[in-house]
Structure 1
Amino acid sequence: MARTAIWTSISAALTNDIAEGRYAPGDKLPTEAALSARFGVNRHTVRRALAAMADEGLVHARRGAGVFVALTPTDYPIGRRVRFHQNLTAAGRAPAKQVLALETRAADAREAEALSLHAGDPVHVYDGLSLADDQPIALFRSIFPASRFPDLCDHIAETNSVTAALKRQGISDYTRATTRLTAKQANATQALHLRITEGAPILRSVGINVDTDDTPIEFGHTWFAGDRVTLTVNNS
């Protein structure tokens, strides 16, 4: 009778640990050395078991950090109204944002075109990190016309919410006019912030938001971690 490969047994045991809740989504698994000691095998055998689990989408490795239990992808609607906190709350996740940078500078040609400005006009740039249940799911960059919203950076810093900050600047509602989605590979900086491996798949969204008069007010880029978000498209 054929014997079960040892690495298969290790994979099954660790998969059962995850299913029983001993390791939750986002948790780091024990090191290869610790798993080798637990199962009485060499690291190569452990590595093969972990690779098989990664192929099944159960775990993922972060270079220099270890192997982590994969998160359940978060449903994230892409429609006319894209509201981060509302979307995550509706999906049963705890939303949070981390401000990485806020600055005012001259618009480049592409930014100016998207916002109906002239190249060199001042814009506010908001770089940040979106989290769900304390796990990073996306990096973003939002660009706004500075002349129309002179105090926007201060409001974002105080509220940590674009919607609340724009409301303070007289914008009661805004909607998405255009969205472009493109598959990319994470560069070193993106991988560091998103806690993924450099070169891992990410999905870039580029969009323009407009006010009730269809005037562009925000030019945004978002880079979603490919294994943590399921983008859904709707018309609302």
Structure 2
Amino acid sequence: MQRSEPSARYRQIAADLLDRIAAHEFSDGTPLPSEADLSQRYDVSRGTIRQAFAKLRADGVISSRRGARRTVVASPRVQSFDELNSFSHWARASGSTPSSHTVALELRAATPEERHRLELAHGDRVYHLTRVRLLAEEPVMIERTAYVEKVGALLPGMQLDTDSITDRLDELGVVLHSAEHTIDAVVASAEDARLLDLRPRTPLLRERRRTADLAGMPVEWSDDRWQANAIAFTVRNTRDVSHLLKQSSPRP
């Protein structure tokens, strides 16, 4: 009969692993030992190790994907709003390898919000793209973007899992020139949780973005949802021009 461990034991193990991570025994982005190895090291059941992993993940210290080893989370990458960069450009500039997984691309009628944000008429259509964005093969963000139809019609000819859409649009003469960003906190929906391999209602950082072309005409409206420990945003402003508008918003 398997003996039971005190309920505090997994906390002690989590604290010890945290100390080892802080001492750089396990560096950012590297996998931790397996459940079996740690179970033997600490002389506890694998269930206790899973509890310790769960605590570290809840604290934002490690991440995990189904069928993969737990990995030490790197410090949040910082994205500045000083210039408008694509996800791919930002990721490479921060020393990471970006990739994508396309979930869906569909041509459909614009929703009321999309009509409002993109200045469309009733009955106008949009191309709606859902992609999971990854850094070093770890899912960090869900991108849900509506494109005005004449621009979105260019997307089916792209390699959406590998191409930078911004770069490809530039090559085709569509320049994403300016953007307005709204950032707030939400909890993961069931779909968010499935796509990011998280528990439902995990806190996420949401960035809603409307992007315009050189003529100032809206081109895309996006709802991006980030794992909160994967990103930090910086905003620089002056007393002459305010780039950041604070406002209250209802809970989603």
TM-score range normalised by the length of the shorter chain:
0.7 to 0.9
Structure 1 contact 23–29 (Cα < 8 Å) conserved = no
**Counting strand residues as a fraction of each chain, which structure ranks higher?**
1
Using a 3 Å threshold, how does the CA distance of structure 1 residues 40 and 215 change in structure 2: closer, same or farther?
same
AA aligned to 1:135 is E
- Of 27, 35, 39, which aligns to 2:38? 35
Structure 1 contact 139–223 (Cα < 8 Å) conserved = yes
Q: For 2:92 and 2:149, how far apart are their aligned partners in 1?
A: 30
Work out whether 1:152 is the aligned partner of 2:161: no
| 3-state secondary structure, aligned to 1:206 | strand
Structure 1 contact 152–165 (Cα < 8 Å) conserved = no
Q: Within 5 Å, which residues of 2 pair with 1:132-151? A: 132-147=135-150, 150-151=153-154
Task: After TM superposition, give the deviation of residue 112 of structure 1 in Å.
Answer: 0.9
Work out whether 1:91 is the aligned partner of 2:104: no
Q: For 1:195 and 1:208, how far apart are their aligned partners in 2?
A: 27
Structure 2 contact 133–139 (Cα < 8 Å) conserved = yes
- Of 80, 84, 87, which aligns to 1:81? 84
Q: Within 5 Å, which residues of 2 pair with 1:1-236? A: 10-11=13-14, 13-15=16-18, 18=21, 19-21=23-25, 25=29, 27=31, 29-31=33-35, 35-42=38-45, 46=49, 49-50=52-53, 53-54=56-57, 57-59=60-62, 68-147=71-150, 150-155=153-158, 157=160, 160-176=163-179, 178-234=180-236
Using a 3 Å threshold, how does the CA distance of structure 1 residues 208 and 45 change in structure 2: closer, same or farther?
closer
Q: For 1:83 and 1:233, how far apart are their aligned partners in 2?
A: 17
Task: After TM superposition, give the deviation of residue 47 of structure 1 in Å.
Answer: 5.9
Q: For 2:15 and 2:178, how far apart are their aligned partners in 1?
A: 47
| 3-state secondary structure, aligned to 1:10 | helix
Structure 1 contact 77–87 (Cα < 8 Å) conserved = no
Q: For 2:47 and 2:165, how far apart are their aligned partners in 1?
A: 48
| 3-state secondary structure, aligned to 2:191 | helix
Q: For 1:45 and 1:128, how far apart are their aligned partners in 2?
A: 35
Q: Which has the higher contact order (CA 8 A, sep 6+)?
A: 1
Question: Which segment is superposed worse, 219-228 or 192-201?
Answer: 192-201
AA aligned to 1:222 is D
Using a 3 Å threshold, how does the CA distance of structure 1 residues 79 and 198 change in structure 2: closer, same or farther?
farther
Task: After TM superposition, give the deviation of residue 216 of structure 1 in Å.
Answer: 0.5
Q: CA RMSD in A?
A: 3.3
Task: After TM superposition, give the deviation of residue 87 of structure 1 in Å.
Answer: 0.9
Structure 1 unmatched ranges of 5 or more: none
Task: After TM superposition, give the deviation of residue 138 of structure 1 in Å.
Answer: 0.4
In the superposition, the TM-score normalised over structure 2's length comes to 0.75
Using a 3 Å threshold, how does the CA distance of structure 1 residues 99 and 234 change in structure 2: closer, same or farther?
farther
Q: For 2:15 and 2:160, how far apart are their aligned partners in 1?
A: 47
Task: After TM superposition, give the deviation of residue 157 of structure 1 in Å.
Answer: 4.0
Structure 2 unmatched ranges of 5 or more: 1-7, 238-242, 244-252
1:115-159, Cα deviation, whole Å (9 max, x unpaired):
111122011111111111111110011111113553333236496
Q: Percent identity?
A: 27
Q: Which residue of 1 aligns with 2:5?
A: none
Q: For 2:200 and 2:96, how far apart are their aligned partners in 1?
A: 26
Question: Which segment is superposed worse, 182-191 or 56-65?
Answer: 56-65
Using a 3 Å threshold, how does the CA distance of structure 1 residues 152 and 66 change in structure 2: closer, same or farther?
closer
Q: For 1:62 and 1:223, how far apart are their aligned partners in 2?
A: 18
Using a 3 Å threshold, how does the CA distance of structure 1 residues 28 and 231 change in structure 2: closer, same or farther?
same
